[in-house]
Structure 1
Amino acid sequence: MSDLISVDDHLSDVLRAIRPLDPVDAQLADALGRVLAEDVTAPAALPPFDNSSMDGYAVRTADVADAAAERPVVLTVVGEAAAGGGGAPEVGPGQAVRIMTGAPVPPGAQAVVPVEWTDGGVGGGPAEAMSPAPGRRDGDGWGEVRVYRPAGAGQHVRRRGSDIRPGTLAVPAGTVLGPPQVGLLAAVGRATVTVRPRPRVVVLSTGSELAPPGADLAAGQIHDSNGPMLAAAAEQAGAAAHRAVSVADDPATLRAALADQLGGADLVITSGGVSVGAYDVVKEALGGSGGVTFRRLAMQPGKPQGFGLLDGVPLFALPGNPVSAYVSFELFVRPALRAMAGHPPETLHRPRVEARLDLTAAAEGGPGTLTSPRGRRQFLRGVYAPPAPGEAVGTVRPVGGASSHLIAALAQADALLDIPEATTEVRPGTHLTVVLLG
């Protein structure tokens, strides 16, 4: 086993070779999910002016200080302030301005009385407080409004700059832009932002036995599942994936296909042809190039791996069995893609949690135990259940076996059981590290 490379050493070599992609300017509509590559500061206050948080009446606090249900204060309505409008009259003693949510607070006003605290300007009493009717307009006047509750200074007023002050850092570089961050960037007036681009990934399956999904199978053929699976995994990791046509077991054909794809790729993934068989086309085509190194890792599944730079483009040569290909993607390719997209180191990997092994449904490798080969770090597929009330850790149960062709079992899994190299047997109830895939 001395010639086997550890999972951690291989991952370290991969990440040392990966560089973040150069930033690009993107329209705000295209920035979701990308990593911001600049500090964005607020050029102006947000909100830019004092405005009302309620539909109601802008008033002076002294005028409504004694308002009560049994002794309403009667104010003269002198105008109206609407969102997006301007020019509302100043509020003087004994006066009010009808105001809509988001409208600028008129000069002289110190608070907003919600319409529910008034008669709605149509007479009557508190029983009519929910009436949406505006202040009654008599000819050129606006009538009166009865106020049944006092309002303190600033009540129901959104102060200028209460969200962000001018010059404040709104969104720092390195932020992954989600919907709230996109909304904030729009609020401070940004139509474009500088972000790391989505890596362009080419996925290329190898094997003369492969037929595209939907095609009729000839004798000895199987449908290509790795191509769609790895392309979907790359998209889920934040990349823009392109699935090339699968290549037969011919080194010259593979080299030509790679040469054709490299110009439009930031990263290339191949699957199959990396072991020691007579038709391991990827290893035969690239093994002597000097840019791609083929290794055997102390892991199961996924022992044969290839990685390197081909014309400066990172290339991952993954095993051909579906489970091996997917586990290899999660452990090595996904962190590389996220590093290229500018994600910080602490967010490159899937979350890991501690979980208690549950073998009640089925036992692996013998009654009541789970077995693992000595010297191999095994990543079994499993289903994780979060902690029950009062429990410190959740549980995880294996699905399927250790065989790397069991794609039906893989489709049921939402976690990987990480079993260390020195562990050969795991009993029920043992605490394990679990990689969460969901």
Structure 2
Amino acid sequence: MRFTRFAMLDWSSGNDTGPTPRKDAIWLGEAGREPVYLRNRDLAEFVLGAMFGAVVNAGDRLLIGVDVPFGYPAGFGKALTGSDDPFAVWDWLEANVTDTPKGNNRFQLADQINGGFPGIGPFWFNALKDDLPNLPRKDVRDGHGMAERRACDAAVPGTFTLWQMGGAGAVGGQAFTALAVLNRLRKNFPDQVAVWPFQTPETPIVLVETWPGLLNDAVKRAEAMGEIRDKAQVNIMAQAMAHLDAADLDEMLAVDATAEGWIFGAGHEDRLRKAASRIAPPPLRNDCFALPPGVDWTPVDTALNMLRDRLHPVTSPEPVSVFAAAGRVLAEDVIAKRSNPPQPNTAVDGYGFKGGAPDDAPRWLPLVDGRAAAGAPYDGTVPDGHAVRVLTGAALPDGVDTVVLEEDTTTDAGQIAFRGPLRQGANTRKAGEDIAAGAVALPKGRVLTPADLALASAVGHGELMVQRPLRVAVLSTGDELLEPGDEAGPGQIFDANRPMLLALAAGWGYAPIDIGRVPDDRDTLKTRLDEAAEKADVILTSGGASAGDEDHVSALLRESGAMEEWRIALKPGRPLALGLWNNTPVFGLPGNPVAALVCTLVFARPAFRLLSGEAWHQPKGVMVPAAFTKRKKPGRHEYLRARLRDGAAEVFKSEGSGRISGLSWAEGLVELGDGAAEITPGMPVKFIPYSAF
């Protein structure tokens, strides 16, 4: 059974770091989830225990990397415990490490261990005020008999020695405290946890030693964008592990290591880095929806341009079979592995020969024995002045560059007769004339069609790297709302928006997530938004997007420090609350179903395309004659519910935004620009069918 979950733990032996996420602390990252900050080791042990229990109960398999050495240089375990078993050291540390959020005895233990070695023992760096007799503050060690580094450390540039107990790169202190915790966890889950490479990685939970330095370039890029380094490390390593090809993962785990242990991915750095390049982009910035200073009313085109310029994909790539990739968004260019056609071939059934027939004189050519068919090439060379039977799609035999159609020939007694003219190369296809090996067959960001899958398969791809489907959470707000079909009381209405918005998301190929409806209660709404942010890549709410007393969506987003209320110069619509909730983008739509649909089509749909990895796309309309009369004032974009009849655009009888029946009656929208307009029958107007979105 393959692994279903991938995680990484970055450890710290320091004191409690407080409630604010920071560097040089404990971070836990899991592929597909936001990394978790753990302020001290007590909390980390509790969270890890809960994770392990959830994995076992759900029947999952977890591969979790830990940024701590699992073993020591050869001979240390024997000197300390009398045994070469690496778990004897783990047991010793669990029994002897005393640890609280405010401190631990790692320096005293290093002093105690050094006292049992000859010369000046292997450990060094005392960060305590008091001197310790056997633990030097500086590296003056000598005569202890231990190697400075393990074999795997020597194979990976940049790793640190286990003997340093404090200061920059002090993995010695981290190993003391981490191995004590990990030993308790593996004992708490007997037969469920394996420690690689000491044990066979066939259990539900497998611990591997990781070194984030293997992915340092990716980590530095995340740091340059303002990410905390430790947070970036766990996120990137967990995602890279998740995106490894199955064969690469198996090979990385097939290590014959000694009791010293091994670093996961060592010797396979290129493959690990390639997998890391497939991870999801960083989250959106808090100011991605901020309006320029002084902007109040926002024109539709300005709003769309800001969304186009500020949004980027938030989904992560994953490999998918060509048989299951229809409708998915390509995460990387598809490069032809093989030319199409792979070799010159015949385009028709007929007879192949060399040289063509430049005039209309009759020709007689003797036939060689055998034939060429698709998948069954002719074995041999056709001599000059001879012909061979060929079927459509067959590779051209050596000595053949022209084919005459079967119906243009007569055959008799082992020869063919035909008349020209017939140009040289007629009825054949050149190798790579469709697409050459190494060329881009399909560009990144394309939504795959059945025809695309045929092309990808033809050029050698059985699997494509595509974006995971965008997860769209839909939430309705308002005390007045009821579930459709419930018994309605005075002042209550049925929730029409959720069924509509969930269906739109599903129809666009996204993964809809129904978060339900909530009353006008801020605490309840906050809880639901937390749930939505945990489950989805983007949140779509309706209602509560204005600035009234009961408009809690905009109020909560404003309190979170990442909210903008875009007053769009638009009819129907106008208020559109945009912000981030726990790093998840939120589109706060008006509560009116007509306005909610228009805002979703006009703003959310192109934004969702970008968030899901597609290229920016706005719907294409067609100019058709108007079948209506309208006088429009300047200052706002307007969208009229419309349909085509006899080649002209009809509009719904009422522009009232409460007339939901108009949405069903319509087949699309007529778009009118910001300026004043006097529309009369026959004038050209832009009609955008619903399908164009």
TM-score (norm 2): 0.51
Matched, 1:168 2:428: no
Give ranges in structure 2 of 5+ residues lacking alignment.
1-294
Contact 1:23 1:194 in 2 (8 A): no
Tell me how far 1:103 sits from its aligned partner: 1.4
Corresponding residue of 2:539? 268
- In the superposition, relative to structure 1, how do residues 159 and 355 fare at CA in structure 2: closer, same or farther (>3 Å)? closer
- In the superposition, relative to structure 1, how do residues 7 and 117 fare at CA in structure 2: closer, same or farther (>3 Å)? closer
Hey, what's the Cα distance between the residues in 2 that align with 1:276 and 1:175?
Answer: 39
Corresponding residue of 2:38? none
Between Structure 1 and Structure 2, the one with more helix by share is 2
Corresponding residue of 2:398? 107
Tell me how far 1:300 sits from its aligned partner: 2.1
Corresponding residue of 1:405? 658
Corresponding residue of 2:609? 338
In the TM superposition, 1:198-277 aligns within 5 A as: 198-213=469-484, 215-220=485-490, 221-275=492-546
Matched, 1:26 2:319: yes
Task: Output one character per residue of 1:160-188: Cα deviation in whole Å (capped at 9) or x when no partner.
Answer: 23223343333344444333333222222
Tell me how far 1:201 sits from its aligned partner: 0.8
Which deviates the most, 75-84 or 270-279?
Answer: 270-279
Hey, what's the Cα distance between the residues in 1 that align with 2:681 and 2:428?
Answer: 60
Corresponding residue of 1:75? 366
Hey, what's the Cα distance between the residues in 2 that align with 1:411 and 1:300?
Answer: 18
Tell me how far 1:73 sits from its aligned partner: 2.9
Contact 1:63 1:93 in 2 (8 A): no
Q: Give, as a single letter, the amino acid of the residue that structure 1 aligns with 2:438.
A: G
Tell me how far 1:234 sits from its aligned partner: 2.6
Task: Output one character per residue of 1:84-130: Cα deviation in whole Å (capped at 9) or x when no partner.
Answer: 123534323564322221112222233223222234x5x5xxxxxxx
Matched, 1:51 2:340: no
Which deviates the most, 146-155 or 336-345?
Answer: 146-155
Q: Give, as a single letter, the amino acid of the residue that structure 1 aligns with 2:676.
A: T
Contact 1:66 1:73 in 2 (8 A): no
- In the superposition, relative to structure 1, how do residues 328 and 63 fare at CA in structure 2: closer, same or farther (>3 Å)? closer
Which deviates the most, 373-382 or 265-274?
Answer: 373-382
TM-score (norm 1): 0.77
Secondary structure of 1:148's partner? strand
In the TM superposition, 1:229-378 aligns within 5 A as: 229-275=500-546, 279-345=550-616, 347=617, 349-359=618-628, 369-372=629-632, 375-378=635-638
- In the superposition, relative to structure 1, how do residues 51 and 429 fare at CA in structure 2: closer, same or farther (>3 Å)? closer
Q: Give, as a single letter, the amino acid of the residue that structure 2 aligns with 1:267.
A: V
Secondary structure of 2:559's partner? coil
Hey, what's the Cα distance between the residues in 2 that align with 1:155 and 1:9?
Answer: 55
Corresponding residue of 1:42? 336
Task: Output one character per residue of 1:141-174: Cα deviation in whole Å (capped at 9) or x when no partner.
Answer: xx62443334442222222232233433333444
Contact 1:64 1:73 in 2 (8 A): no
Q: Give, as a single letter, the amino acid of the residue that structure 1 aligns with 2:627.
A: D
- In the superposition, relative to structure 1, how do residues 66 and 60 fare at CA in structure 2: closer, same or farther (>3 Å)? farther
Task: Output one character per residue of 1:17-41: Cα deviation in whole Å (capped at 9) or x when no partner.
Answer: 4222355143233443444343444
C-alpha RMSD of the superposition: 3.3
Corresponding residue of 1:127? none
- In the superposition, relative to structure 1, how do residues 145 and 249 fare at CA in structure 2: closer, same or farther (>3 Å)? farther
Contact 1:35 1:195 in 2 (8 A): yes
Tell me how far 1:276 sits from its aligned partner: 5.5
Hey, what's the Cα distance between the residues in 1 that align with 2:439 and 2:545?
Answer: 53
In the TM superposition, 1:382-421 aligns within 5 A as: 382-384=642-644, 395-421=648-674
Hey, what's the Cα distance between the residues in 1 that align with 2:307 and 2:387?
Answer: 68
Q: Give, as a single letter, the amino acid of the residue that structure 2 aligns with 1:340.
A: L
Hey, what's the Cα distance between the residues in 2 that align with 1:353 and 1:66?
Answer: 52
Tell me how far 1:15 sits from its aligned partner: 4.2
Q: Give, as a single letter, the amino acid of the residue that structure 1 aligns with 2:619.
A: R
Tell me how far 1:402 sits from its aligned partner: 1.5
- In the superposition, relative to structure 1, how do residues 178 and 12 fare at CA in structure 2: closer, same or farther (>3 Å)? same
Tell me how far 1:237 sits from its aligned partner: 4.0
Contact 2:337 2:461 in 1 (8 A): no
- In the superposition, relative to structure 1, how do residues 420 and 97 fare at CA in structure 2: closer, same or farther (>3 Å)? closer
Tell me how far 1:340 sits from its aligned partner: 1.6
Higher relative contact order (CA 8 A, sep 6+): 1
Give ranges in structure 1 of 5+ residues lacking alignment.
124-142, 360-368, 389-394
Secondary structure of 2:518's partner? coil
Hey, what's the Cα distance between the residues in 1 that align with 2:680 and 2:687?
Answer: 16
Hey, what's the Cα distance between the residues in 2 that align with 1:13 and 1:75?
Answer: 72
Tell me how far 1:425 sits from its aligned partner: 5.5
Secondary structure of 1:302's partner? coil
Tell me how far 1:412 sits from its aligned partner: 2.4
Corresponding residue of 1:97? 388
Hey, what's the Cα distance between the residues in 2 that align with 1:222 and 1:100?
Answer: 69
Tell me how far 1:270 sits from its aligned partner: 0.6
Which deviates the most, 57-66 or 349-358?
Answer: 57-66
Q: Give, as a single letter, the amino acid of the residue that structure 1 aligns with 2:430.
A: R
Contact 1:53 1:101 in 2 (8 A): yes
Hey, what's the Cα distance between the residues in 2 that align with 1:201 and 1:98?
Answer: 58
Hey, what's the Cα distance between the residues in 1 that align with 2:543 and 2:310?
Answer: 22
- In the superposition, relative to structure 1, how do residues 419 and 82 fare at CA in structure 2: closer, same or farther (>3 Å)? closer
Tell me how far 1:329 sits from its aligned partner: 0.6
Contact 1:417 1:432 in 2 (8 A): yes
Tell me how far 1:384 sits from its aligned partner: 4.2
Corresponding residue of 1:149? 419
Contact 2:315 2:612 in 1 (8 A): no
Tell me how far 1:306 sits from its aligned partner: 1.0
Tell me how far 1:259 sits from its aligned partner: 0.9
Q: Give, as a single letter, the amino acid of the residue that structure 2 aligns with 1:332.
A: F
Secondary structure of 2:332's partner? coil
- In the superposition, relative to structure 1, how do residues 13 and 50 fare at CA in structure 2: closer, same or farther (>3 Å)? closer
- In the superposition, relative to structure 1, how do residues 343 and 76 fare at CA in structure 2: closer, same or farther (>3 Å)? closer
Contact 2:371 2:378 in 1 (8 A): no
Hey, what's the Cα distance between the residues in 2 that align with 1:172 and 1:420?
Answer: 33
Tell me how far 1:317 sits from its aligned partner: 0.9
